[in-house]
């Protein structure tokens, strides 16, 4: 009988060894498992990440507006624009590809098109490349949540799209590239980079 008890205990311990810490704690009566990790698709995880990023961007702007007032947004966005443009220029110069028109359009396509799963096309012609974002995933997420942070949808679009476009314009000027940009539709824009 004692031998059977030892074998049963051994099998029990062997079985417990493969359990997660949460399952072990539950089996021993120390805690209660209320939810297991959910299995999510890559698309679901991406959408969660995109919404979380928009949440943090809006939280920062909303906090700033609450503390300093809406009039202080302009100067703050100018500082942000300068910093973003400088980073773009550093990245492009660091790669040393030589064609700044192509480099800027690739940067835009990758950062706003691919990163935010936007609907976009790139048009090319003699001395120019234009990126058309029919639906920008970044601003789509931001505008969707903006009112919860005290910003109207037009205010959010003005702040975020204005900063984005201005940073590409400033980077283009620094790199000696022509720039034209405009907003389109509810969540779109186009930016054209050209040789001067």
Residue spans per domain, the chain: 42-195
Structure tokens at 71: 């009039």
Band (pLDDT 50/70/90 cuts) for residue 2 is very low
Is the pLDDT at 13 greater than 50, yes or no?
A: no
Mapped to the 3 state alphabet, what secondary structure does the chain carry?
CHHHHHHHHHHHHHHHHCCCHHHHHHHCCCCCCCCCCCCCCHHHHHHHHHHHHHHHHHHHHHHHHHHHCHHHHHHHHHHHHHHHHHHHHHHHHHHCCCCHHHHHHHHHHHHHHHCCCCEEEEEEECCEEEEEEEECHHHHHHHHHHHHHCCCHHHHHHHHHHHHHHHHHHHHHHCCEEEEEEEECCCEEEEEEEEC
Share above pLDDT 70 across residues of the chain, in percent, rounded to a whole number: 82
Task: Specify the pLDDT at position 29.
Answer: 57
Q: What is the pLDDT of residue 24?
A: 54
Instruction: State pLDDT tens for residues 27-86.
Output: 555 666 666 777 889 888 888 888 898 999 999 888 888 888 888 888 888 999 999 999
Residue 26 banded pLDDT, cuts 50, 70, 90: low
* CA–CA distances in Å: residue 22 to residues 40, 54, 191: 20, 33, 52
Q: Which residues pair with 131 in a beta bridge?
A: 122, 191
Return the pLDDT at 187. 93
Predicted pLDDT at 163: 94
Whether the Cβ atoms of residue 145 and residue 51 lie closer than 8 Å to each other: yes
What CATH class has 42-195?
alpha beta
Please determine, for residue 133, whether its predicted confidence score (pLDDT) is greater than 80: yes
Which of residues 124 and 19 earns the better pLDDT score? 124
């Amino acid at each position: 009988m004692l031998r059977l008890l030892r074998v049963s205990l051994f099998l029990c311990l062997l079985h417990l060894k493969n359990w997660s810490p949460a399952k072990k704690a539950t089996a021993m009566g120390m805690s209660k498992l209320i939810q297991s990790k959910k299995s999510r698709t890559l698309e679901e995880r991406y959408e969660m990440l995109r919404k979380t990023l928009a949440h943090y961007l809006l939280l920062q702007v909303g906090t700033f507006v609450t503390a300093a007032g809406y009039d202080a947004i302009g100067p703050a966005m100018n500082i942000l624009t300068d910093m973003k443009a400088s980073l773009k220029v550093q990245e492009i110069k660091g790669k040393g590809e030589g064609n700044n028109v192509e480099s800027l359009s690739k940067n835009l396509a990758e950062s706003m098109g691919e990163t935010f799963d936007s609907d976009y096309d790139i048009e090319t012609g003699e001395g120019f490349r234009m990126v058309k974002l029919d639906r920008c995933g970044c601003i789509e997420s931001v505008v969707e949540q903006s009112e919860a942070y005290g910003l109207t949808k037009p205010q959010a679009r003005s702040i975020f799209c204005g900063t984005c476009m201005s940073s590409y314009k400033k980077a283009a000027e620094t790199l000696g590239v022509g720039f034209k940009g405009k907003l389109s539709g509810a969540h779109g824009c186009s930016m054209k980079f050209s040789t001067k």
